[in-house]
Structure 1
Amino acid sequence: MPAARDLLLDAAFTALGTRPWSGVRMVDVAAAAGVSRQTLYNEFGSKDGLARALVRREAESFLAGVDRSLAEAAERRPEDPGACLAALAEWTLRAARTNPLVRAALTGCRGDRLPAQAAPAVPAPRTAAAPGPRSAPSPGALLERMCAGVVAVVGGAERDAERVRTACEAAVRMTLSYVVAPGPSDAEAGERVAGVARELLGG
């Protein structure tokens, strides 16, 4: 059975699908998770703490998908770095379209429906049950993490490290532009990103 923390995060995510974050009540989240309101406060400290944990979880899940898509593409077509960038682009666009918290984390644009991404002015005391709050990655940090993942997969001794880094960053930034202004399809966007990466990498 999932831990109380996971149940609470699932309940908060579900609630966010039907109402804005300002309308999500802690008592309702606790009830939906089947735990007491005190357990909810023990885990997250406050509604802001719950929001940070929820956004962080979705961002971390997105990054796990980034790693998975890159690894799968590299295994299928190890000779074609562009295929890795296409897979990354398609995963990113699909995740951003289906998960508003991922889209917000990637773009920094939250709107009124989503929880704000703000660290507390004074860190809460850390306890075993409720570790101190950590903010979710910023858009810039997510970009850096995505770039590092791509470089690790497509780089190699036979390629110039700086050229690989530049090509990967350009491809990731192009991918993020499709998050903001979608193309006709994820697959077409992926192929365009792959084409740019192949040109920059020289093959």
Structure 2
Amino acid sequence: MTPLRDAILSVTAKLITDQGWQAVTMARLAAELGVSRQTVYNEVGAKPQLAEAVVLAELDRFLTVVTAAFDEHPDDVLEAIRAAVRNVLELAQGNALLHAVVSATHGANTELLPLLTTHTEGLLDAAKAVVSRCLQSYALSLGGQELDIAIDLIVRHVLSHVMQPSSSPTATADAVTWAAAKLLA
């Protein structure tokens, strides 16, 4: 990513958090950054591409937490999963951008919420790819399509708790770890 792209995404995230997606315009971003509106368009594309870029940049923060948890538990896949889930859910709890997107009122002008709820292909693919890479160093009894199914189930379950938590991060991590133990046994 270029420094300008980083700055655009940072300003966009702050605007979304403070005022909502409807406050984000290319002209406003250009003014905030001291560049032309065309420069913003050249860097991130139109507003739908900007929405996707913001979501993917935030996803990258979450996936960094996942990778770190697996790195911290190289000999125990279940503890790595427990730590990854707990850390992701703790990050989600305090994530102002995520809360601003999820709590958008019905009918609000937002292109962000569908990226997290109904049009999740890119998000899910990225998350599953990271988890799959993290699991490669463990001796698992599952492989191939069965492992892909287990990863899909776990990632979708955790994403649902990111969007709508039903328990504490620790309790949810324990539950996901129990399920992962059954799936990966």
Check whether TM > 0.5.
yes
Structure 2 counterpart of 1:175? 158
Pick the aligned partner of 1:149 from 98, 123, 133: 133
Structure 1 counterpart of 2:35? 35
Say yes or no: does 1:52 pair with 2:48.
Answer: no
Higher helix share: 2
Contact between 2:55 and 2:112, CA under 8 Å: does it hold in 1? no
1:171 Cα deviation (Å)? 3.4
CA RMSD between the two structures? 3.6
Contact between 1:84 and 1:150, CA under 8 Å: does it hold in 2? no
* Percent of aligned pairs with the same amino acid: 27
One-letter identity of the residue aligned with 2:154: A
Separation of aligned partners in 1, 2:100 and 2:148: 25
Is there any run of 5+ residues in structure 1 with no aligned partner, and where?
119-134
1:58-88 residue CA offsets vs partner (Å, 9 max, x unmatched) = 22333233222222232xxx1x321111112
Structure 1 counterpart of 2:3? 3
Structure 2 counterpart of 1:84? 80
Structure 1 counterpart of 2:143? 161
Say yes or no: does 1:188 pair with 2:183.
Answer: no
Pick closer, same or farther for the CA change 1:153–1:33 going to 2, 3 Å. Answer: farther
Structure 2 counterpart of 1:115? 111
One-letter identity of the residue aligned with 2:135: V
Contact between 1:15 and 1:29, CA under 8 Å: does it hold in 2? no
1:110 Cα deviation (Å)? 9.7
Mean Cα deviation higher: 189-198 or 46-55: 46-55
Contact between 2:17 and 2:100, CA under 8 Å: does it hold in 1? no
Pick closer, same or farther for the CA change 1:104–1:136 going to 2, 3 Å. Answer: farther
SS at match of 2:162: helix
Contact between 1:85 and 1:150, CA under 8 Å: does it hold in 2? no
Pick closer, same or farther for the CA change 1:10–1:143 going to 2, 3 Å. Answer: closer
1:116 Cα deviation (Å)? 4.4
Contact between 1:63 and 1:146, CA under 8 Å: does it hold in 2? yes
TM-score, with length taken from structure 2: 0.72
Contact between 2:131 and 2:151, CA under 8 Å: does it hold in 1? yes
Say yes or no: does 1:13 pair with 2:13.
Answer: yes
Structure 2 counterpart of 1:129? none
Pick closer, same or farther for the CA change 1:171–1:153 going to 2, 3 Å. Answer: farther
Pick closer, same or farther for the CA change 1:47–1:92 going to 2, 3 Å. Answer: same
SS at match of 1:17: helix
Separation of aligned partners in 1, 2:120 and 2:6: 17
Pick closer, same or farther for the CA change 1:164–1:25 going to 2, 3 Å. Answer: closer
Structure index of larger Rg: 1
Q: Number of aligned pairs? A: 178
